[in-house]
A and B are shown apart, each in its own frame.
Chain A
Amino acid sequence: MKRRTMNVAGEPPVRMYHVSKSYMAGQYALHDVSLEIRRGEFVFLTGSSGAGKTTLLELIFAAEEPSEGQILVLGRNVARLGASGIPALRRRVGVVFQDFKLLEDRTVEENVRLALDVIGTPRREARTRVFQMLKSVGLQHRRFHHPKSLSGGEQQRVALARALVNEPEILLADEPTGNLDPALTLEIMDLIVSASTRGTTVIVATHDHNLIDRYGKRMLRLEGGRIAEDIPAAGAASALRGANP
């Protein structure tokens, strides 16, 4: 039987208790971080370079293990997942990166289909779902193209489609608009926000204060591996305005 802990409604999909991550003795990428992110919540993660944003995301999708503390993602203790538990978790967590991470030798459709292939979705069903997904990001007409022939914004939309095609419960985005111009940035952000309105819990790491300001979602600011500020939705924009007049 497939072992899958059901995430009881209301139980926060991401919980951290005094989590620290250290790559070298005495130097912390994250230090004593405790937080809870609620189901369907949209959270901006901000802070200067090296503040610990990427590390925090990597801990959530089990690319790294915490040095100290406990992390519960979708009810599972990340440190105790084991070799088979990690893939199972990642099928429920979509991830988007600044550099898209698309396979150049595969078409747009094949890139998106990867997330369905790994769970053995029948080819016909997978193609239908991929088509629907590409349609929702406006790229259905480009499905037989290769990533190199697409613009940066289009490539990020493909990456987003791959992250969402499996209907993940959590979407993590690490500087998803870092390589994009302002118009494309808004296009991508609108797609991410719409995923959140469908119930997906979203965490977006970004430098871009304009975005945080524009969307007014909950904001966690990291500084030196610690949470310096945790400003709830709606309050985030005004807090930023106060901090950056």
Chain B
Amino acid sequence: MLVAIIFANAARGIRNASTTSSLAVMTIAVVLVLIGSALLLVGNMTGILDEFGNELQLTAYLEDEVAKGEKDGAAELLALAARVEAAPGVESVEIVTKTQALERFEKIAGGAELLEGLDENPLPASLEITLLPEARNAESIEILELALDGLPGIADLASGQEWIEGYERMVSLLRGAALGIGAVLGMAALLIVANTIRLAVYARRDELDILALVGASRTFVRVPFMLEGTLQGLLGGLVALLVVYGAYEMVLPQVRFGLEMLVGRADLRFFTMGESIGLVLAGAGLGLLGSLTALVGWRG
């Protein structure tokens, strides 16, 4: 019975204070639109960077002796490839023979002309090493390089170390910025929401005092406010989700076009179902926390 009365009081609170209630809902929505947009932006940017990471490869150029004659050297080449594949951080190894290297080079504009007049294929055979996702960083690549250094038959390693370091810096910068922005926005959100709900509590201090006077427990007085805050937060979260989705759909064509021009790819995505629910629940959490903060200091 008490629970029913508490719920009824929460519903009454929202009904009676519709102006302050909608103000709280809108405040939470605005704050979550900012946080949601920032998260979506950062998520998509790291997504694009991850795509680049997937293409990260090491190339081990082989000594001509290993691959000489190709048919004769095949067993030796396969053995070497197997040893490389067993090295730390390696996901897969693809063998590129001298002939394949030549074919590739010829496909490049002007490649065929450059090779004219040469008797022998000057291009080395190579192993193209794809890295495990967790090994796509400078440190792992250095360890791999050390491991491969001693292997007989490898003439040279091309790792694109500088590129990797740049990529790593970019990713960590982006993640740091996302964390920083998230923390600042989160704090701002909490303060704004707490203040808005505090105003709502202040507007109803007579009711709080009278409830305390007739012997209402702290729970009886507080829970309706907490329910109200949570419900307002849920609504705010939903509104924010819709707004961010609308904005995403609106700017998607332009951004996709721009990205394709700039980086040649545009695999953009909206929040997953889980992330969307997370955003709405974050609103509920903000509302609840806001109402708790607003009730601090009320003695009853």
Contact = CB atoms under 8 A, between A and B. Distances in A.
Contact of A87 (B1, B4, B210, B216): B216
B64 to A, nearest CB: 86
Interface in A152-173: 162, 166
Interface residues of B, number: 19
B206 interface: yes
Could you tell me the dominant secondary structure of chain B's interface residues? helix
A170 B214 CA distance: 13
Contact of B215 (A91, A103, A105, A122): A91
B105 interface: no
B210 A103 contact: yes
A95 B218 CA distance: 19
A123 B1 CA distance: 8
Interface in B183-242: 206-207, 209-218, 220
Interface in B78-127: none
A197 B215 CA distance: 24
A207 interface: no
A114 B1 contact: no
A115 B214 contact: yes
A120 B218 contact: no
Interface in A106-125: 114-115, 117-123
A166 B213 CA distance: 13
Contact of B1 (A88, A91, A120, A166): A120
A68 B218 CA distance: 27
A157 B57 CA distance: 87
Interface string A204-228: 0000000000000000000000000
A163 to B, nearest CB: 8
B210 to A, nearest CB: 6
A168 B1 CA distance: 22
Contacts of A83: 218, 300
Contacts of B216: 87, 118
B2 A103 contact: no
Interface of B: 1-2, 4-5, 16, 206-207, 209-218, 220, 300
